[in-house]
Chain A
Amino acid sequence: MAESLFSRLGTRRALLVGCLLLPILLAGCSSSVTLQPHYFWDSLFHPSPAIINGLGLTIGISVVAQIIGVILGIFAAMGKMAKRRLFRWLAGFYVWIFRGTPLLVQLTFFVFGLSAAGIFKWPGIVIGPIDILPEILAGTIIMGVNEGAYMAEIVRAGIMAVDPGQTEAAKSLGMTYGLTMRRIVLPQAARVIIPPLGNEFNNMLKTTSLLVAVSVFELYNTFSTAAGRTYASFEFLAACALWYLLLTTIWGFFQAWVERRLARGTAGSADYNGYSLRARLWGLRNNSGNQGGR
């Protein structure tokens, strides 16, 4: 029976259904504890403003931190490949520190550690209509800086995958290093960088839950606070997990779509009709011809 269920629904969807049914089953079975399933259902289908806010924070922080991470990663990768030993050393040091220590320690150290020592206290900032609390600013930046250390290796692999002839051609046209990187190398490296970047962002979405340590009320903190207040840990944390699952699942579909688009143009693939990387990346195809696969 389980087999037929799995085969009909597909593993992933079967698991999802399982997750949804589990609390109800358990609520029915258990006798010693009383669960309050409405906490579970309400936070899924009638999320409170606090949950919506937490969801927004999780997405917003993830996106901004990932952008910071990509930018820092590009610079760190270029630093690691630089001719000057100083740049190589600086980039290496950065990656070494932020990959070598736990993110949780980094968060708490740079927020509580620094302020306790009187070295630095994070300010709150206002961008237009949005008032950004100090802990949110700190959390976003620290997560971004941490992410940059991981992105550095990914970007470096991407840059190294670009034919050295491209750099030579750009140089021979009188292009400087910066221009060569920006106009010639990085656009081509993007194709190698984007698939692992998708995985990094998936990770980022979940890892923001560590921001509970610096009391940012993102998704996890919102739920764990509610769980603590009501003692309905099971209901709230299960719902919390499902929210994360929803985010990463949506992202997963988006990632798969982007990667299909990228894969279409790989050298030697039969269905490639000469669309540029840019066209493929951003979906600028102007025909509806066969594309293989879906």
Chain B
Amino acid sequence: MTTLNISNDLLGAIGGVPRPETDVVVDARDVNKFFGRLHVLKDVSIQVKRQETVVIIGPSGSGKTTFIRCINHLEKIQGGRIFVNGHLIGYRETPAGRGLPIVGGLPIVKRLSVVGRRRKGAEGVTKLVEDREKNVAAQRQEIGMVFQRFNLFPHMTAIENIIEAPIHVRGTSKDEAMVMGRALLERVGLVAKENVYPNQLSGGQQQRIAIARALAMKPALMLFDEPTSALDPEMIGEVLEVMKELAREGMTMIVVSHEMGFAREVANRVVMMDEGVVVEEGTPDQVFSVPSQERTKTFLSKIL
């Protein structure tokens, strides 16, 4: 059984009151992505507000995983823009027509062609260039990600996995990181596994450690890429429980998942994607009970 702690002020803030849906955390506009010639994302636009949980569903190959990987720039995009907390992710704008931008003394050759097409003499036209690796890394600190295959570091214990990034990226002191790490372990119900290596843990336990590891960076946004797809059925529940708790605490989350029960219970919005296009978007009730699109109906009938 997992034990979960919610701080009192958070409970007070949540307590039945509808979440304040104010500022936009994720603002993806007309995102286009190609793998070679394959057009995997076609003008995908999604907004996620603070403390919102958005579940993306859709058949495999629909681009949902690719899309959330674009949000923390694990994938490059060839068109559109993605903003997280108002910051353009992975790219920076430079005035067009000024020649190649100079980064670190060397010209960057790669350029985004789809967005901000370079027009001769056009004033105010900008083009996007891929941002410096260091800046992208800094942006990723604010975006937690949980992977389908956990990707825990096998050469580190559970607690070492959790404190690695706070210490080496954020510069937190080891003592402070340990305190935080233990608190996170408690939160995911795995205090006893502090000094255990990942390969001694079950899939569900590994995934909970992976969630704790992402949370250790105190991200403003959490991305979940099919977090329960690689788990044995009896372990899915414990991971979903942690995620539900997180959503209730007000974490902003985007979840790619086939867990319709989870989507119904937790999601503020469900986004249905197919063939790189957002087919339908709405509250869980709307999408699951009265889907407006034929494609959604077919998909739901197959999996429910």
Contacts and interface: CB of A to CB of B under 8 A. Distances in A.
Contacts of B147: 165, 168-169, 172
A166 B133 contact: no
Given A173-B213, A176-B137, A274 B199 contact: yes
A186 B291 CA distance: 49
A277 B155 CA distance: 6
A183 B151 contact: no
Nearest to A176: B137
Contacts of B200: 274
Nearest to B156: A276
Q: Is the interface of A mostly helix, strand, loop or mixed?
A: helix
A187 interface: yes
A184 interface: yes
A168 B137 contact: no
A13 B155 CA distance: 39
Contacts of B139: 174
Contacts of A278: 155
B155 A276 contact: yes
Contact of B164 (A165, A183, A188, A267): A183
Nearest to B108: A84
Contacts of A166: 151, 153
Given A168-B74, A172-B144, A276 B213 contact: no
A284 to B, nearest CB: 13
Interface string B165-177: 1001110000000
Contacts of B152: 169
Interface string A132-169: 00000000000000000000000000000001011011
Contacts of A232: none
Interface centre among A174, A175, A177, A188 (most CB of B within 10 A): A174
A165 B65 CA distance: 14
B165 A188 contact: no
A276 B134 contact: no
B23 to A, nearest CB: 22
B106 interface: yes
B137 A274 contact: no
A175 B196 contact: no
Nearest to A280: B155
B255 interface: no
Contact of A172 (B72, B138, B164): B72
Interface string A160-203: 00010110111111111101000110011000000000000000
A246 interface: no
Contacts of A274: 196-197, 199-200
B196 A179 contact: no
Nearest to A276: B197
Interface centre among B137, B145, B200 (most CB of A within 10 A): B137
Nearest to B73: A171
Contact of A188 (B141, B154, B214): B154
Q: Is the interface of B mostly helix, strand, loop or mixed?
A: mixed
Contact of A173 (B156, B169, B197): B169
A18 B214 CA distance: 63
B168 A188 contact: no
A86 interface: yes
A173 B136 CA distance: 11
A199 to B, nearest CB: 24
Nearest to A279: B197
B164 A173 contact: yes
A163 B137 contact: no
A84 B130 CA distance: 13
B161 to A, nearest CB: 9
Interface string B196-216: 110110000000001001100
Contacts of B141: 173-174
A163 B151 contact: yes
A174 B149 contact: no
A171 B168 CA distance: 12
A176 B134 contact: yes
Contact of A183 (B106, B137, B168): B168
Nearest to A173: B165
Contacts of A275: 197
B157 interface: yes
B151 A175 contact: no
B70 interface: no
A165 B140 CA distance: 16
28 contacts: A84-B106, A165-B147, A165-B151, A166-B151, A166-B153, A168-B151, A172-B74, A172-B140, A172-B143, A172-B145, A173-B164, A173-B165, A173-B213, A174-B138, A174-B139, A174-B140, A175-B137, A175-B168, A175-B169, A176-B133, A179-B168, A179-B169, A184-B153, A188-B154, A274-B196, A274-B200, A275-B197, A276-B156
Interface of B: 72, 74, 106, 133-134, 137-141, 143-145, 147, 149, 151-157, 164-165, 168-170, 196-197, 199-200, 210, 213-214, 217
Given A169-B145, A169-B152, A172-B145, 13 more contacts: A168-B151, A169-B151, A173-B164, A173-B213, A174-B138, A174-B139, A179-B169, A187-B155, A188-B155, A267-B199, A274-B196, A275-B197, A276-B154
In the A-B complex, the 9 residue pairs with the smallest Cβ-Cβ separation, listed nearest first, are: A174-B141, A169-B151, A173-B165, A172-B145, A165-B151, A274-B200, A277-B155, A174-B140, A176-B137
Interface of A: 84, 86, 163, 165-166, 168-177, 179, 183-184, 187-188, 267, 274-278
